[in-house]
Structure formats: structure tokens, C-alpha cells
Amino acid sequence: MMKKIRVVIAGGGTGGHIYPALAIASGLLSRYEAEILYLGVQNSLEERLAKAAGYDFCQISAAPLAGSFRRTIKAVSQNLIGCKQAKKIIKEFRADLVIGTGGYVAAPVVLAGTKLKIPTLIHEQNAFPGRANTYLSSKVDRVCLTFEAAEEHFPQSAKTVLTGLPVRRAVLEASKDEALKFFNFSADQQVVLITGGSQGSKAINTAALSALPRLLKRDIQIIFLTGIKNFDEVQGQLKVLNIFNNQHLQIMPYLDKMEYALAAADLAVGRAGASFISELLARGIPSVLVPYPFAAGNHQQENASSLEKQGAAVLLKENAIKEQTLGDLLEMLLADRQKLYKMSAAAAKMGEGDALQKILSVCHELLAAQKRN
């Protein structure tokens, strides 16, 4: 029997990086006697979600390499400090394994792990890799991929393992009855989830505001996640529309218990990030996907297109929302229950897989190799 293991995990900035990290952490706890330490930036989304999930959290310095030359130099300095901090934390924690799931905060943590010669792996969610994972790929022991198309961006092909994207157990296990009770919704009316992701989307919010009055008139129940920075503006618009206190509308800036929104939804509207898509597929939820047009490598467009080709989603480009109003599209889909059923079946078929178990197998391989050495 393997000894108790200690694992450091880092991934941050958006839910797309954090939720896979939490899924891996949960999987490690189910397989091993494990102690998990999550590293991230102070007052960040990863700090809030990691602590909410019950994990110990340590803060380090980190910043994205973007903006002016002066800001880039400052970011490099912050990341070097973060690497030094992470190195000290990892050493004191006596970590057996370091895992990064993307976002700028993962770079100094995983880099620190490589410098300490501790087994390291990263997980890349998208078909077009982010800068942090591209940089780290030559230094880590394994690179786990969601999409086969990402492999061409990592020349060290012997390190890459196609695993898919892990979904948190809570997402898989949440029941519809429990979710409807959480939102105080009826089981007799359909539920639509509208979200722009953890950062929110002004384009989706604007389209949703124009669609809400007609959907609510049909007694459609709506979970509307606006994003923190857009929440006050959307609330103001709802008051103008006189639908602020409608019992069929649950509006929030962000939802920690995203598993309830997914369990309740009969149809979802959102961006086409890999993490959100994986959760939709795992639950078999039909969707209208509005890819973020400025995503690196246009990877969200590719993600959404793959679902549309399989009949699991409708792809709606952001610049086409005004031509094809969101309200028209949602009313049409909700009225055609046979089409929704076929979309749901297609999504569920695409969602079949064991991504988490494949990643845990990679972890086991690295831990076993370390034990032999």
C-alpha cells in the first residue's frame, strides 16, 4: 500500500482552470490517503473556491505577462517572487507531486516543483494551449490533454497523454430535485441557465436581457449568472424592465454551487470554454454556445463547432446575436422537446469517458516512479 501522499495543486484566474484542479484533488482523495495544498493568488477566485471545497490554501505572488513593457517587467518580477515562495512552501509541505491546471498562477508553482525535482504534471484544457502551459511543457514530467488537436503545440510528444477534461464529482452527483429545491423552482416548468462564465459576458447579458421578458411570460424558469463586474448594471436593467422580483428568475453575480445550476437546467446558454463544455456534456445538457471571439487560437469557436457537428449544441457567434435574437432561438428550442431530447442524447454520448481516472493513472505512474527512485 502506498504511503500517505502530499500533493500541491495550482490553477487559477477563471473557473475553467480551477474546476479541473478541484476535480483532480477530489479524485486523489478518493484513491489515496492524500493531503492536498492549493496555491494561488490572494483574494482570488481560486482562493474562494479552494477554501469552499475544504482545501488548505497558501498565497503566492503571480501576475499575467500582458500589457505594456513596464507591466510585463513588473509581472516577471512578481512571478519570480512567486516561484521562490512556492519553492519554500512545497519544500516545507514535503510534496510528492505538483499539479498545474493553467492560468498564470500555475507557472511559478509548477516551475518551483521542477526545480525541486518533484514529479510534475500539467493539464491543458483547450485545443490551443495557454502561454503558461506552453512554457511549462518542456520542464514537466507529463502533459495531460483534453483535445488531441493540442498535441501539435507540444513538441515533447512522449510527455503528452490524451485524457480528456475531468469533471467534479459534485457536478456528476447533484440531483435535479435537490437543485430545483435550491433555487425554489417548480418541477413543472423548464429551466434555462444563462452564464457568461466566471468573468461574465456583456454580450450574453445584453442578449439575455432582451430575451427575459418573453421567456418569463411563458413561465420559463431562468438562472442568470451575470459575472461580478456586470451584476449591478444588469440589476438596474431588470428594474427598468420591471422583472426584478420575478419568482421564476434567479439572478446572481456568480454561483459557487454551479453543480445545482447544471442539474436544474434543461437548456444552457454560455461561452464555449472547455471546462463549461465538459460539464454540459457530463450532464447531457443541450446548449446554445456563444464563443468568446478573442480566445487564444480561436479555441472556443473550435470547441463549440465540435458540439454543433454532433448535434449537441447550437453555435451562435457573438456578432450574430443581433441578427438571430437569443429570445427567438430559445423559444424555438424550448418548444421543440423532441429536438431538445436529441441534443441532450448527443451531449451525453460525447460526455462518455473517464478523464479523471486517466489523469489519476498518470499521477499514480509518477508517484510510483518517484518511490522506486
172-181, Cβ contacts within 8 angstroms, sequence gap of 24 or more: 172/282, 172/283, 173/259, 174/259, 174/260, 174/262, 174/263, 175/263, 176/263, 176/264, 178/260, 178/263, 179/259, 179/260, 179/261, 179/262, 179/263, 179/264, 180/264
In the prediction, which pLDDT does 373 show?
62
In the prediction, which pLDDT does 372 show?
64
Architecture of the 170-350 domain: 3-Layer(aba) Sandwich (3.40)
Helix axes 299-309, 274-283, angle to 10 degrees: 20
Each domain of the chain, given as residue ranges in start order, spans 5-164+354-372, 170-350
In the prediction, which pLDDT does 1 show?
45
Q: How far apart are CA 205 and CA 200, in angstroms?
A: 8
In the prediction, which pLDDT does 2 show?
56
The domains spanning 5-164+354-372 and 170-350 adopt the same CATH topology: yes
Phi–psi pair at 363, nearest 5 degrees: -60, -45
Residues 29, 124: contact at Cβ < 8 Å? no
Q: Which three cell numbers stand for residue 175?
A: 440531483
224: helix, coil or strand? strand
Say which CATH class 5-164+354-372 falls into.
Answer: alpha beta
Residues 304, 272: contact at Cβ < 8 Å? yes
Q: How far is CA 8 from CA 23, 36, 95, 135, 354, in A?
A: 14, 6, 6, 19, 23
Q: Which residues of the chain have pLDDT under 70?
A: 1-3, 156-158, 323, 372-373
pLDDT tens-place string over residues 181-240: 999 999 999 999 999 987 889 999 999 999 999 999 999 999 999 998 999 999 999 988
